[in-house]
Structure 1
Amino acid sequence: MTHDPERRRDLAHVGPLELYTPVLEESRDFFVNQLALREVGRDADSIYLHTWDDYLSWTIRLIRRERAGVGTTFVRAASAAAFERVRAEIELAGLVDGIDAGVRGLGEVVRFHDPDGHPMGLYWEAGWYVPDETDTPALKNQAAAFPGRGANVRRLDHVNYLTKDVPGTSRFLADVLGARCTERIVTDEGEDAAIWFNLGNKSYDLVYTQDWTGANGRLHHLAFATDTREDILRAADVMLEAGIHIETGPHKHAIQQTFFLYVWEPGGNRIELCNAGARLILAPDWKTISWTAAERAKGQAWGLKTIDTFHTHGTPVLPVE
């Protein structure tokens, strides 16, 4: 499909995001010690963390829950007027769950859900991160001091959800949110089996893949961006020393050409470290790249064969018949 360059882009980016974990403190230590996020707040059942170059006041909120999984994904509108336009589209689609003025660091939030039931929140007003004397950056054009430790992730990159209905979700992303599909996997019947959508000029922000269990609302992985591929190679050693489960990688995806490492944080959620920032979609009339099932079956661009759990593991974990 070719994208209409006259279509207004009303969403700026993904983030912040909530993540459920049954082991709150252990998950916190993983993100702080292995990924180099900073704890910036907490309450009885959640901890707020910040990546060093995120302009927002927090990047991820870990929430204590019995089962792992994804909470609310917040998406920022591109302007106050864009906020009202997207709000109207969500209302027209009948997906609004309520209005919330109590989210830390954000103004009014329109809570809604995608067709698969994943909770989301639309906002415009946002508080920016204010470093204290312990993390004031040497360079005033970054949010916080450069940590220089662990995986040293710079920012939240994308979210990959599992969904029961990929074609229906694809229509929602394009028609309601105004996102555009940059790449996809199609079945032999021509239906979408996996979709990569972007909001701005990054190659992708929101990804949905077919949930083989037929369930709704699950997470495949949450991804953080590093500056270089060398950061990911070092991260593999960091994870090894910390006893973190390395699922697969470092390898290179054929789709989107992402260099990656997948690990499971202590709560069971899959986390990707990726270096995809060099690929930007600058063409306003970008033509969606479609991969067939046969092409996808060839595996990664290079590296080892994709491990089986990559196609079966998601959170919350479901019992298998």
Structure 2
Amino acid sequence: MPLHGVTRLGYVHARVTDLSAAKGHYGSTMGLYPVHETPTSVYYKGWDEWDHHSVVLEEGGVGVVKLGFKVNDPGDLDGIEAAARTFGVSVERMSAGENLEVSDGLRMVTPSEHVVEVYHSMTAYGTEVGTHNPEVFPRHLVGVGAPRIDHALITAEDVKGMDRFFHDVLGLYASERVVTSLDDDADYIGTWMTAGNTVHDIAIIGGPNGKLHHFAFELADWAAIKHAGQLFAMDDVPVDVGPTQHGITRGETIYFFDPSGNRNEVFSGGYVAYPDRPTVNWTPEQLGKGIFYIQRELNERFTSVLT
């Protein structure tokens, strides 16, 4: 069980420059379900997500507003708050309802200047197939029909410090890392961390503080990745890289951009992670193969475009 009861990444709040265009992308192309709207925001969920929402878009700029992680039990918040204060990050209690349909919890500012929230419950909305004799997918999926959010990747000036933060405060563990060497005191170029058995809930790579590289949606398999790529061609979605496969995580992938320039990913595959599995380490000369296993090289846009 995770150290402090964190179960998974629960939500991503992101900024967009044009809410109408964003709704076309996330609603019509990605096939997310809108569950609540205001004049300046829209809340979405995937068809196989139980909770009220997993993606919130706020009009006014680009990039990440905050990330939310769900814990098992309200009592887990006390342990996380104590760990955050020991670690030395800013932490405050948030009241139920500060986030729509979200319980009370904690709000922290990480060493990388990202806002991370932790909560224990969200209003149940239900999946599209229900919990009684369900079908394996909804008959009338729209577009890609993404079932759920999978992970986010952010940048930080001190990757090793962020690895420590997510481990010591939230109880995540690293499934894979890119390290400067195989020495015990090596620095980290990137880290992929999980709260449970998925290969990663959050990843951090070197870069400026406070930035978003991408957030990703889970798809079922390689065929679904290919189908998503076909839909991106139909809808003129700008594709960054793919379809291809990662060496790190072994996931199958396409990276692409929403109309505001935020990078998204569709991701499938990977492997089952567990805390007693040794962390996989990659060294810098193999980074291209680690990120894009088939092409074995990075393009300039992938490493430089952040929001």
Same fold (TM over 0.5): yes
Give how far 1:105 is off: 1.3
Moved over 6 A (4+): none
Aligned position for 1:160: 153
Conserved in 2, the CA contact under 8 Å of 1:138 and 1:145?
Answer: no
Compute the displacement of 1:200 (Å): 0.8
Does residue 79 of structure 2 align to residue 85 of structure 1? yes
Q: After the TM superposition, which residues 288-303 of structure 1 pair with which residues of structure 2 at under 5 Å, given as runs? A: 288-298=279-289, 300-303=292-295
Structure 1's 220 and 268: CA in aligned 2 closer, same or farther, altered over 3 A?
same
Please point out which of 276, 280, 289 is paired with 1:285: 276
Residues 23 and 289 from structure 1, CA distance in 2 versus in 1: closer, same or farther, beyond 3 angstroms? same
Q: Distance in 1 between matches of 2:140 and 2:114?
A: 32
Aligned length: 301
Counterpart Cα distance in 2 of 1:50 and 1:202: 19
- Tell me, yes or no, if the aligned pair for 1:161 and 1:208 is still in contact at 8 Å: yes
For 1:99, which of 71, 94, 104 is the aligned residue?
Answer: 94
Counterparts of residues 1-321 of structure 1 (less than 5 Å): 8=3, 10-65=5-60, 67-92=61-86, 93-101=88-96, 102-130=98-126, 137=130, 145=138, 147-188=140-181, 190-211=186-207, 215-276=208-269, 279-282=271-274, 284-298=275-289, 300-303=292-295, 305-315=297-307
Q: Amino acid of the residue matched to residue 295 of structure 1?
A: Q
Deviations 1:106-150 (A, max 9, x none): 11021112111111111112211147xxx5659655899454332
C-alpha distance in 1, partners of 2:59/2:8?
A: 26
TM-score, normalisation: structure 1: 0.87
**Higher mean C-alpha deviation, range 225-234 or range 96-105:** 96-105
Aligned to 2:192, what secondary structure does the other structure show? strand
Task: Indicate the larger mover: 139-148 or 189-198.
Answer: 139-148
User: Aligned equivalents of 2:288 and 2:74: distance in 1?
Assistant: 44
* Amino acid of the structure 1 residue aligned with 2:64: V
TM-score under structure 2 length normalisation: 0.91
Query: Quick one: distance in 1 between partners of 2:85 and 2:32?
Result: 35
Give 5+ residue unaligned stretches, structure 1. Answer: 316-321
3-state SS of the aligned residue for 1:88? Answer: helix
Q: Does the Cα contact within 8 Å between 2:288 and 2:298 map onto a contact in 1?
A: no
Q: Partner amino acid for 1:191?
A: D
Tell me how far apart the structure 1 counterparts of residues 258 and 103 of structure 2 sit (CA, whole Å).
30
- C-alpha contact (below 8 Å) 1:160/1:219 kept by paired residues: yes
Q: Quote the offset at 1:80 in angstroms.
A: 2.2
